[in-house]
Structure 1
């Protein structure tokens, strides 16, 4: 039975975790973001939540840029590690052998393992209590074509070629793939 509670629980999970990358001068960082979303399409805007005290926040505000990277389930442990370590204390790219390319348009690392990624230019940052919500206009979109299919003009992940990590909470992940049950409600598609 549903009842009122006085604490935040894992109600928003399971969900995808984005890896946020940043770079300023000779410093760079990578962090996990569980709270992130597309804001709009005209222009393309993406946003995520983070605390001001983080090393990533400092680099992003100084550079005015960030990267959003989505990686396959075989990297769930890396997602957890980079989300629980500070870039002030270690170079996570070197320590965890994270390969990346520099962004085409902005100075942000784009992970070589990412099946989908964005380069974003910061347009706003607003405080909402314990976290700030940072929004950026998407400048470049990267997609591993082999991991996606087209259905009625809409690009969707090909779950027979991609395994997506879903964060359940408390450092626990599940894998969504072609073996997971999927239902197609074709009769309700937009026309």
Structure 2
């Protein structure tokens, strides 16, 4: 266990161009993420930090947007599956058994129907940080449908939740 765990796990969704076997294709991706945080209230901004090797990095660079999906603890098995599943050669929504919903403000991105809430973000800054990339997004739309227990990543495939 790392000293800064447990951390809340969210699912990042994005859609855009990505090179697959040398050919540029429109791809969707869903990435479980623990490294995320609000960074400003006025204007509202949110940061995500992704490993440079993830397909989502090239998609977000090309599309300029992402969605932070806050999910219930009951979806921890979806998180574990997403950790092991690449969207490069398959439709990740179908593989994970989740459903996409069109965003309110972002023209060509999606959010997850099963999420408790969402932050639709437009990238305003990108920063390389060692083996990771930080994207800071201006929150264009946010919504909390309902609250519930949320998943917190402990280590490897171990998760816990809040007490309420």
TM-score (norm. length: structure 1): 0.77
Uncovered stretches (5+) of structure 2, i.e. residues with no partner: 18-25
Deviation at 1:177, TM superposition (A): 3.7
Greater Rg over alpha carbons, structure:
1
Report which of the two has the higher share of strand. Answer: 2
Could you say which residue in structure 1 is the equivalent of 2:4?
A: 12
TM-score (norm. length: structure 2): 0.89
- CA distance in structure 2 between the aligned counterparts of 1:16 and 1:89, rounded to whole angstroms: 28
Deviation at 1:46, TM superposition (A): 0.4
2:162 aligned with 1:176: yes
- CA distance in structure 2 between the aligned counterparts of 1:128 and 1:27, rounded to whole angstroms: 25
Q: Is the 8 A contact 2:27 2:88 kept in 1?
A: no
Could you say which residue in structure 2 is the equivalent of 1:55?
A: 55
- CA distance in structure 2 between the aligned counterparts of 1:16 and 1:171, rounded to whole angstroms: 13
- CA distance in structure 2 between the aligned counterparts of 1:74 and 1:33, rounded to whole angstroms: 16
| 4+ long deviations beyond 3 Å | none
Could you say which residue in structure 1 is the equivalent of 2:110?
A: 109
Q: 1:177 to 1:112 in 2, by over 3 A?
A: farther
Q: Provide Cα deviations, 1:89-144, integer angstroms capped at 9, x if missing partner.
A: 32211112211201011022111111121100001111110101111000010111
Deviation at 1:166, TM superposition (A): 1.4
Alignment length (residue pairs): 155
- CA distance in structure 2 between the aligned counterparts of 1:95 and 1:45, rounded to whole angstroms: 31
- CA distance in structure 2 between the aligned counterparts of 1:109 and 1:85, rounded to whole angstroms: 19
Q: Provide Cα deviations, 1:28-57, integer angstroms capped at 9, x if missing partner.
A: 110011110000111111011112221111
Q: Any idea what SS the aligned residue of 1:11 has?
A: coil
